[in-house]
Amino acid sequence: MNSAREPLTVYPFYPAELEVRRVGDWIRKLVGLFRFGVPATIADRGTTRKEIIEPGAFDFAIDSPTHEIHLLVGHDFDKPLASKLGGSLRFWRRRKRAFGVDDSEVLEFEADLPPPETRPEYINELARQVESGLVGGVSPGFRIPPPSVVQGAEVLKPEPGNPSVMVRHIRAAVLYELSIVTRPAYADTEVELRAMFGAQAEPPEDPAPSPIAKPRYWL
């Protein structure tokens, strides 16, 4: 099995802010927001660890014109929602007020979903779950490049106020999928389902790209 398609870990539950907006029933977009710099506690095979994804960690995957990123349901490649190279998944890096915190650094995505008459039932089910508040947030699937490729891609730092606990800080990672999940490892995520007639919503302002490594490293 391709390791890129294996779930990273078991994701504990953290509540997330969710919102559904409707202006009709014809065109639907799934919109999400991921906040950088938020600590997560990951449980895996009886052990726990803490990690933080730092701003800019996913820049390579986002900026590369040839690197694919999939949007999935529950880290399942048999349940795709959209893809970056397919043109149905877009990303923006922004600074904004999010989750009650001013000037947060966030990654936003917007996915075009298939028309209702052609979409698989699992997408309809996901839409219903988002609307009813049953979906908990967004979880990233990524790989850490080896030190021979990127120095300092991940580092361990003592937890503030608790120096005996080491927190894994992810500075550079190859993002290959984002998943809509009911139990996200990162609490500060937000998903909303937009339904619109005809006119497209104005996309967020797109800051200038800031790649973290040359594309030749991770292709």
Read off φ and ψ for residue 202, nearest 5 degrees: -65, 125
Read off φ and ψ for residue 123, nearest 5 degrees: -75, -40
- In a domain? residue 215: no
Place of tokens 């991940």: 154
Residue 28: predicted pLDDT: 80
Contact 41, 48 (CB under 8 A): yes
Number of domains within the chain: 1
Q: Which amino acid is at 44?
A: D
Residue 115: predicted pLDDT: 81
Q: How far is 186 from 112, CA to CA, in rounded Å?
A: 24
Q: Specify which residues 189 forms β-bridges with.
A: 34
- In a domain? residue 129: yes
Residue 81: predicted pLDDT: 93
Q: How far is 173 from 69, CA to CA, in rounded Å?
A: 13
Residue 129: predicted pLDDT: 86
- In a domain? residue 88: yes
Instruction: Please state whether the predicted TM-score (pTM) of the whole model is above 0.85.
Output: no
- In a domain? residue 127: yes
- In a domain? residue 208: no
Residue 60: predicted pLDDT: 95
- In a domain? residue 22: yes
- In a domain? residue 81: yes
Q: Which domain holds residue 155?
A: 11-193
**pLDDT below 70 — which residues of the chain?**
1-27, 43-46, 96-103, 136, 183-185, 196-219
- In a domain? residue 59: yes
